[in-house]
Amino acid sequence: MTDPRFVQRRFADDFVPLVRQRILAGELREGERLNEVKLAEQYGISRSPIREGIQALAAEGLVRLVPGRGAFVAAMTAEDVRELGQVREAIESHAARIVAEAADPERIARLERAVGALESRGEADFHRVLLEATGNERLITVGASVADRLRLARSRSATRPGRVDEAVDEHRAILDAIRSGDGDAAASAILRHVARATESAIG
């Protein structure tokens, strides 16, 4: 028989990714209060892991804690987006350099598939694949957290007409530089791409 405490813990572990996805999808909107009692009822777990999960989301910058008032889905200013963009530039330019200089055919093939999927369906996460191709777990974790927050900013702003096609061309340029094994060119290509994506997110 399954220990009820194990079931409770498993659902608690699922809480953070589920709520993170709801925030990123816009289901939980900017400024919306996260009610611990309602969330505990909704997910069938006690308030203690709910509280821990909210603290974790606050550490990611997706939730804002207001003393005496509770937890709210975080708002993002233009300056927040610019600063996150600068962090992303540093992380992903380093990642592009690592992958280009490693010249690993398997890693490059994964990036090629990501660009192809982006062109045909717009679903692939090129940046996630790039980070994973470094093999550096800490770089992957930090980079993914920054990318999530910027994705949230993009979901709340109007996309400039033509930006999607530009992004595809920019991904191709990054891939070409990585294929060539030129770390400097790969880093420069992704710096240009992230800067343009950041300005587009600001709107």
Supply the CATH number for residue 64's domain: 1.10.10.10
Q: Domain count for the chain, please give it.
A: 2
Q: Are 118 and 171 in contact (CB under 8 A)?
A: yes
What's the rounded Cα separation, in Å, for the pair 151 and 194?
12
Parent domain of 38? 4-73
| Cβ neighbours around 14 below 10 Å, total | 14
Looking at the structure, tell me whether residues 86 and 169 fall in a common domain.
yes
Q: CA angle, 152 as apex, 148 and 157 as ends, to 5°?
A: 145
Looking at the structure, tell me whether residues 84 and 126 fall in a common domain.
yes
| Cβ neighbours around 58 below 10 Å, total | 16
What's the rounded Cα separation, in Å, for the pair 125 and 169?
15
Q: Which two tokens stand for residue 144?
A: 């993914």
Looking at the structure, tell me whether residues 141 and 185 fall in a common domain.
yes
Looking at the structure, tell me whether residues 63 and 93 fall in a common domain.
no
Supply the CATH number for residue 179's domain: 1.20.120.530
User: For each of the chain's 203 residues, which pLDDT tens digit applies?
Assistant: 444 444 445 455 688 888 888 887 778 888 899 988 888 888 888 888 898 899 988 988 889 999 989 999 988 888 988 999 999 999 999 999 999 999 999 999 999 988 888 766 554 588 999 999 999 999 999 998 888 888 777 766 656 667 778 888 999 999 999 999 999 999 999 999 999 988 887 86
User: For the chain, how big is the Rg over CA atoms in Å?
Assistant: 19
Looking at the structure, tell me whether residues 92 and 114 fall in a common domain.
yes
